[in-house]
Amino acid sequence: MNINLTLIGQAIWFALFVAFCMKFVWPPISRALEERKQKIAEGLSAADRAERDLELAQEKATANLKEAKEKAAEIIEQANRRANQIVEEAKDQARTEGERLIAKAQSEIEQEVNQAREQLRKEVSALTLSGAEKVLGGEINRDTHKQLLDQLAAEL
């Protein structure tokens, strides 16, 4: 009977130990497990949110990069157009300046040709007078024969 009484005593003490554990030990352990479970769930939730945020940030960065590339291409295109426009304006200005210089040079040439003709006319009229004096053997008065000399110079 010792074995039976010992078994009954051990069973009673085991039941008291289980009751003690259920009343005083199990609630703090259960609470700690529940808190740990919540912390893990919050951590996983935060990780999911962070992953979504990272994906959104990457998409936004990609979109911003694409937009920046488009703007850069547009700015480069505008710069190229402006450069071409400046080159064309410079060509037009150079062409206009060249035409102006050519016209000025032609005008100067015409003036010099006219001056040379006028000087040549004067020299020819002087030579003509001196030749006529020699032929006629007398002196021809310039003042009296001015009209005739001007007409002769105009014909030359």
User: pLDDT by residue (tens digit) across 94-125?
Assistant: 999 999 999 999 999 999 999 988 888 888 77
pLDDT interval class at 138 (50, 70, 90): low
- Residue 149: which of 8, 133, 134 has the closest Cα? 133
Q: How many CA atoms lie within 13 A of 94 on its CB side?
A: 6
pLDDT interval class at 38 (50, 70, 90): very high
State the pTM of this model.
0.45
